[in-house]
Amino acid sequence: MKKMWKNVLSIALVVAISAGAAVGTSTYLINRNQQVYSSIDSANTFHQPIRLAGYNIVAAENTDFTAAAESTVHGVVHIKATTNAKQYSEGGNQQYIDPFEYFFGFGNRGGFQRPQPQPRVGAGSGVIISTDGYIITNNHVIDGADELEVTLNDNRKFAAKLVGTDPATDIALIKVEAKDLPIIPFGDSEKLKVGEWVLAVGNPFNLTSTVTAGIVSAKGRGISVGADKSKIESFIQTDAAVNPGNSGGALVNTKGELVGINTAIYSETGNFAGYSFAVPISIAGKIAKDLKQYGTVQRAVMGVMMMSVGDIANWLSTPNLSSKEKEELNALKDKIKVSEGACVSDFTERSSAKEAGIEKGDVIVAVNGVKVKTANALQEQVSKYRPGDKIQVTVDRKGESKTFTVELRNAEGNTSVVKRGGDSAEILGAAFKSLTDEQKRELGVSYGVEVTGLLNGKLKNAGIKKGFIIMVVNDQKISTPEQLEKIVDRVLKGGSSEQDDRYIVVKGFYPKGRTKVYAIDLAE
């Protein structure tokens, strides 16, 4: 009997020692940040790293958002955008026609009431970025508005004027006359990490001073289906609740720093369905600075046509792809030896990238040392710079890494900085953009400038509406907003005090409408 108990105690002691050794070894390895491996199936062994949860001692990020919310909510404003009622059609100054009077000759005698057109009112958000009243918002919030009213978080109201817009990034800059306004400082959107907490601050459904929280779900996201190539999309995707009215509001990190401008939601209902998108402040801040300093965006381009490496297989599976297109895509695919990056599929005329030595089939993987995973990410990086800036572009060429110095240019192929005349911008009271190649094909023209927004000014007073295509000003063909503004500046500077010397004659048309000619008096 004693022998049996002796054996039992011996076995128990061995088990206890083995268990202690196992626990001690695991604890030692965990404390040294080493991996613990498990073995499964003696005949077919897998060694997989196991992280034992709860012991390795890195504290979770502080999720108390009160400080960030309190420091940012006063820097976000409510914007009311009013478009006045129009009594005339797009094609000209035509009054409303009563159909009873037109066909039967008795007009309102039969009790028919002419409908009274009502002004359209939209709402959105904006972010104060300077103490003297500059506010960044979305272009679609203020697009086409005749009047802008800004309400601060303390309920003060101001009339705002349009400084400039950039439809390509959906960013606009407006200004109110005020001092010592609360601002939200800029953060670094490039340092954001997927999984990091962020807050969306805005005015959804006209509910002012609303704060929601979520995490960064993805970066460098493009969302347009059949995207307009003139658009620049490299959104921060989050799951913070964003709804109509949040557009133009702030996306901030837990430090209360501005990292994005909330712009869009992905939804089948029009309301939040789990995904929202913000323009990174690395893009939006640069656009706002350009609009303030120059009145127009200094758009830099490399002169390349590109596609994400990961999208090539999708393109190859596209129905109705021609044999030539398949051949070209397969030729690109054969050259690619990496799984991420922006593949150069072709070059534009006067391409600075081609002149620097970049070749068709090269995959751009970094710009100035910042990793590039997609074509959208490449757009984001290039958008940070201006024409004339030089960047270091790293490419993978059939498995070999090469770096080139590329001098960026503007859309016209030169490096000059374009500055819009301040006088012309103030007097005309309008925002313009050059026609895209797609618009030119649709409209059947080879040049022209579109009126994309109107506030109080000479164009609006003359009867010009949003969407008007300006073709000729003072007998000169117009291809860019800068050409229009230079003509206006010359007239303003060169004209005498006589009114006859201060006119411009604008010729153009409305899409699906007639050609129109406007004589615009620039005299005060």
User: How do residues 414-432 score in pLDDT, each as one tens digit?
Assistant: 887 766 544 565 677 777 8
Catalytic residues: 140, 170, 247
| 244 shares a domain with 348 | no
- The two beta strands, 276-280 and 342-347, are unpaired
Per-residue pLDDT tens over the stretch 242-280: 988 999 999 999 999 999 999 988 776 777 777 899 999
pLDDT recorded at residue 83:
84
The pLDDT of residue 27 is above 60 = no
| 178 shares a domain with 270 | yes
Report the C-alpha gap between 458 and 257 in whole angstroms. 39
The pLDDT of residue 19 is above 60 = no
Question: How far is C-alpha 378 from the geometric centre of its chain's CA atoms?
Answer: 14
The pLDDT of residue 98 is above 50 = no
The distance between the two most distant Cα atoms of the chain, rounded to a whole number of Å, is 128
DSSP 19-71: HHHHHHHHHHHHHTTPPEEEEE-TTS-EEEEE--TT-S-PPPPP---HHHHHH
pLDDT recorded at residue 23:
53
The pLDDT of residue 97 is above 80 = no
Mean pLDDT of the chain: 80
Lowest mean pLDDT among 105-109, 120-124, 358-362, 440-444: 105-109
The pLDDT of residue 195 is above 50 = yes
Q: What is the mean pLDDT of residues 380-396?
A: 94
In which band, very low, low, confident or very high, does the pLDDT at 13 lie, cut at 50, 70 and 90? Answer: low
Q: Enter the tokens of residue 332.
A: 């690109």
| 372 shares a domain with 237 | no
Is residue 105 included in any domain, yes or no? no
Domain count, the chain: 4
Is residue 99 included in any domain, yes or no? no
Q: Enter the tokens of residue 314.
A: 């999708």
Is residue 74 included in any domain, yes or no? yes
pLDDT recorded at residue 110:
45
Q: 44-83 in b/e burial notation, b at 16+ Cβ within 10 A?
A: eeeeeeeeeeeeeeeeeeeeebeebbebbbbbbbbbbbeb
Is residue 101 included in any domain, yes or no? no
> Residue 300 in contact with residue 286, Cβ under 8 Å?
no
CATH number at residue 259: 2.40.10.120
Q: What is the mean pLDDT of residues 403-410?
A: 94
| 34 shares a domain with 123 | no
Query: Could you tell me which of 349, 444, 357, 478 has the C-alpha nearest to residue 407?
Result: 357
Percentage of the chain with pLDDT > 70? 75
Is residue 175 included in any domain, yes or no? yes
> How many degrees, rounded to 5, is the angle at CA 472 between CA 467 and CA 475?
160
In which band, very low, low, confident or very high, does the pLDDT at 156 lie, cut at 50, 70 and 90? Answer: very high
In which band, very low, low, confident or very high, does the pLDDT at 310 lie, cut at 50, 70 and 90? Answer: confident
pLDDT recorded at residue 89:
40
Residue 21 structural domain? 2-50
**Secondary structure element (H or E) that encloses residue 289, with its range:** helix 281-294
In which band, very low, low, confident or very high, does the pLDDT at 452 lie, cut at 50, 70 and 90? Answer: confident
The pLDDT of residue 212 is above 70 = yes
Report the C-alpha gap between 159 and 174 in whole angstroms. 10
3-state SS string over 183-240? CCCECCHHHCCCCCEEEEEECHHHCCCEEEEEEEEEEEECCCCCCCCCCCCCEEEECC
| 274 shares a domain with 182 | yes
Lowest mean pLDDT among 141-150, 186-195, 423-432: 423-432
Only one residue has tokens 């805005």, namely 202
| 282 shares a domain with 314 | no
Cβ contacts of residue 84 below 8 Å, gap of 6+?
119, 146, 147
More reliable by pLDDT, 339 or 458: 339
Q: Which ranges of 311-386 does DSSP label H, i.e. alpha helix?
A: 312-316, 323-335, 352-356, 375-382
Query: Could you tell me which of 171, 161, 249, 172 has the C-alpha nearest to residue 205?
Result: 249
In which band, very low, low, confident or very high, does the pLDDT at 322 lie, cut at 50, 70 and 90? Answer: confident
Q: What is the mean pLDDT of residues 381-405?
A: 95
CATH number at residue 371: 2.30.42.10
**Which of 269, 298, 327 finishes a domain?**
298
CB atoms within 10 A of CB 359: 15
In which band, very low, low, confident or very high, does the pLDDT at 93 lie, cut at 50, 70 and 90? Answer: very low
| 217 shares a domain with 359 | no
Is residue 476 included in any domain, yes or no? yes
| 338 shares a domain with 235 | no
| 167 shares a domain with 187 | yes
The pLDDT of residue 4 is above 50 = yes
Q: Enter the tokens of residue 51.
A: 């992280």
| 177 shares a domain with 278 | yes
CB atoms within 10 A of CB 175: 18
In which band, very low, low, confident or very high, does the pLDDT at 60 lie, cut at 50, 70 and 90? Answer: very low
pLDDT recorded at residue 105:
37
CB atoms within 10 A of CB 207: 12
> Reduced to 3 DSSP states, what percent helix, strand and coil does the chain have, rounded to the nearest 5?
30, 30, 40
Is residue 412 included in any domain, yes or no? no
**Which of 298, 318, 340 finishes a domain?**
298
**Which of 272, 298, 324 finishes a domain?**
298
Q: Enter the tokens of residue 196.
A: 């990091």
pLDDT recorded at residue 17:
61
Lowest mean pLDDT among 6-10, 41-45, 301-305: 41-45
pLDDT recorded at residue 41:
47
| 79 shares a domain with 40 | no
| 254 shares a domain with 123 | yes
pLDDT recorded at residue 87:
47
Terminal Cα distance for the chain, rounded: 119
Report the C-alpha gap between 496 and 304 in whole angstroms. 47
3-class secondary structure, 186: strand
The pLDDT of residue 152 is above 70 = yes
The pLDDT of residue 362 is above 70 = yes
- Most confident listed range (25-29, 72-76, 119-123, 499-503): 72-76
Report the C-alpha gap between 199 and 188 in whole angstroms. 15
pLDDT recorded at residue 419:
60
Is residue 55 included in any domain, yes or no? no
pLDDT recorded at residue 205:
87
Per-residue pLDDT tens over the stretch 458-510: 888 888 888 899 999 998 999 888 888 888 878 877 654 444 467 889 999 99
> Residue 306 in contact with residue 364, Cβ under 8 Å?
yes
- Cα 56 to Cα 33, 150, 231, 361, distances in angstroms: 8, 50, 45, 45
More reliable by pLDDT, 80 or 221: 80
